Chain A
Amino acid sequence: MRLEPRAHAPFWLNLTAPIAAIGLAFAFCALLILWSGAPIIDSYAALLRGAFGSTFALTETLTRAAPLIFTGLAAAVAFRAKLWNIGGEGQLYAGALAATWVGTGMVHLPPFLMVPFLFLVGAVAGGLLLLLPVILKLKLRVDEVVTTLLLNFVVILFANYLLFGPWKDPLAMGWPQAAPIIDEGILGTLVPRMRLHSGLIWAVAFAVFAWAFIRFTRWGFQIRAVGYNPEAAAFAGMPIGATVLRTALLSGGLAGMAGVCELAGAKGYLTIDISPGFGYTGIAVAMLAGLHPLGVVAAAIFVAAIYNGADAMSRAMSISNYLADVLTATALLLVLASVLFVRFRPQWR
């Protein structure tokens, strides 16, 4: 087989290829459902109900989508500049740690200032954490994929130390959790009696911001240029190092805000399981969205729906909810391949 670039991709192909890929992913997971001895149609119906079937299901899906939008944006922005930030998970924890540090009584501000302040602190922490591997990359050509990955483990162990040690809340009945965020810093709920909080609005606002930033600003243009062709960008007089550093601050900052979103929105206090892998799932979200910031919102809701739906399905049908991870991973790989077939025509010989 060889691949020939297409001069023009037909419009229908752009649309149907990713949908067909996601359909294939569902078909593959249908085999796994069959293997666990559950009826396929009923199981997927349970998944759909669990994701969107009621106000509760819908709001829970959106609650889960909010941090995924942030981590998805973090990956999308970085990958646009070919900066392989796989450290979203660690940056999320860094953001949550920093916000816990200032948000549990150290700083008191009125609510309309306290919430932005917490997001800012979280973003700074996440951005600074990514700065270390990026400086190593720029100065010493140390591969950032491995360093960002390894820092995830370091940061989570550090959070673990704080939660079991100095930050352990004596009022938490022995549970390893930090003191609660002060009331002024808590994100308000959007729907009465549901968990859905204004973190979702923050997330969507930042998606629009990231899109406009990359699309319309000079710095955004430089990010895209460095990603497409760093030599050409350098030849055109663009500051490669500065662009990569800016990308790192933006990407790490967005991931840090995912931590604040969960901390001040969904949980209210820091626990060691504040993220069930949002940082890693964010990479899948970004790729499913084709690295487009506005697409990230849709992809995050899609992935959140799969996870919440799979939780409901596993309760109803006794299928392990790891199916959600399998479904996301399969969809990621197949959508990647489908996008390739839009750009290239396979020639069988």
Chain B
Amino acid sequence: MDILEIFVTLGFWAALVRMATPLIFGTLGELICERAGVLNLGIEGIMTMGAMVAWFWVYQGGDLWTAVLVAAAAGALFGLLHSVFSVYLGLSQHVTGIGITLLASSLSYFAFRMLLPNVTTPPKIDPFKPFAIPLLSEIPYLGTVLFTQSPLTYLAFALVPVVGYGLYRTPLGLAVRMVGENPLAVEAQGIDVHRLRTAAVMLGSAFMAVGGAFLTISVFDAFYIGMINGRGWICVALVIFASWRPGKALAGALLFAAFEALQIRVQQASSAFIPYQFFLMMPYVLSILAMIVMSRRAAYPKALLVPFRKGER
């Protein structure tokens, strides 16, 4: 298959939109945390936890949408734990995040092994079916690509303007952005800095967990050890690439998913010349390149990584 031919196949574009979904959830979640001044490196583990609990909920006979809520709740819980250490106790956000990732992923794997001992092939579930939006899905080409997707994909795309509106057009969003820039000013307004940051981290972590859940209850139909495979870290890079803006985060996630979808197809076409491992490296190398390209314009939230203690300045 010629490389140019890939771009005219519908499968490529549909796969692009599908692969962007977990990245959109994860990047939006990380963006909310960082806008409030908290780097959340727990993302990799929180996505794993979301994937595990959502899958298990459905495996136990639960409903798919309730599974999404359960995953979000589990994510928020780990977000709360992150906040206790990084916001209330003011411990290093780097180390707390790594600790949360270790804890959340090992707890997920432990629970998975305990709930299903002696199973060699992971049991399958009935995942979300692509939902064709009436009328819109009948548009030629565009209908198949954009409007015959998993409901969670629609949710991810819908969340982008919602988060953008929330951050830039509501008093709460203003407070969240301000607490990431100048927490003292927020305190002067009579808003509790710790509570606001905790709420932001919990909401962001819930998003991340839903991103993980998308993988188990929409793309694949099972949970595997190590299935997040660095997607969380890529989201952290995408937030920087997006300059902490939801719209650009969507663009970044789509661009990234495009490379991933392309990678799989080029790999099949040219495996004779280039070993497949080099294609698998592409997302990670591209993330690094993206960070280099955007580095000059990276405007970090001023209070990112800075813990806030009352009465200290």
Interface set of A (CB-CB < 8 Å, partner B): 1-3, 32, 35-36, 79, 84, 86, 136, 140-143, 145-147, 149-151, 153-154, 157-158, 160-161, 164-165, 280, 283-284, 287, 318-320, 322-323, 325-326, 328-330, 332-333, 336-337, 340
Contacts and interface: CB of A to CB of B under 8 A. Distances in A.
Given A147-B288, A158-B281, A337-B91, A326 B107 contact: yes
30 contacts: A2-B309, A2-B311, A3-B309, A86-B98, A142-B288, A142-B295, A143-B240, A145-B41, A146-B236, A146-B288, A146-B291, A149-B230, A150-B233, A150-B284, A151-B288, A158-B277, A164-B275, A325-B105, A325-B106, A325-B109, A325-B110, A326-B110, A329-B103, A329-B106, A332-B102, A336-B85, A336-B91, A336-B95, A337-B89, A340-B91
**Binding site of A, secondary structure by majority: helix, strand, loop or mixed?**
helix
Interface centre among A2, A136, A165, A326 (most CB of B within 10 A): A326
A280 B45 CA distance: 13
B285 A154 contact: yes
B83 interface: no
Interface string B220-264: 000000000110011011001000000000000000000000000
B245 to A, nearest CB: 17
Contacts of A149: 230, 233, 236
A329 B102 contact: yes
Contacts of A340: 89-91
A284 B291 contact: no
Given A141-B298, A320-B113, 15 more contacts: A79-B95, A147-B288, A153-B284, A154-B281, A154-B285, A161-B278, A318-B117, A320-B114, A323-B110, A325-B106, A325-B110, A328-B106, A329-B102, A332-B99, A336-B99
Nearest to B81: A333
B136 interface: no
B125 to A, nearest CB: 21
B148 interface: no
Contacts of A330: 103
B114 A36 contact: yes
A94 B73 CA distance: 39
A158 B95 CA distance: 28
B280 A320 contact: no
Contact of A333 (B96, B234, B277, B311): B96
B94 interface: yes
Give the top 9 A-B pairs by smallest Cβ distance, nearest first. Answer: A325-B106, A320-B113, A329-B102, A329-B103, A161-B277, A322-B110, A140-B295, A150-B284, A322-B109
B267 to A, nearest CB: 13
A277 to B, nearest CB: 9
Nearest to A330: B103
Contacts of A32: 110, 114
A292 B265 CA distance: 49
Contacts of A322: 106, 109-110, 113
Given A3-B89, A141-B295, A154-B281, A146 B237 contact: yes
Contacts of B313: none
Nearest to B110: A322
A326 B237 CA distance: 27
A288 B85 CA distance: 16
B237 A325 contact: no
Contact of B287 (A150, A157, A326): A150
A153 B288 CA distance: 12
Nearest to A149: B233
B310 A333 contact: no
B114 A35 contact: yes
Contacts of A146: 233, 236-237, 240, 287-288, 291
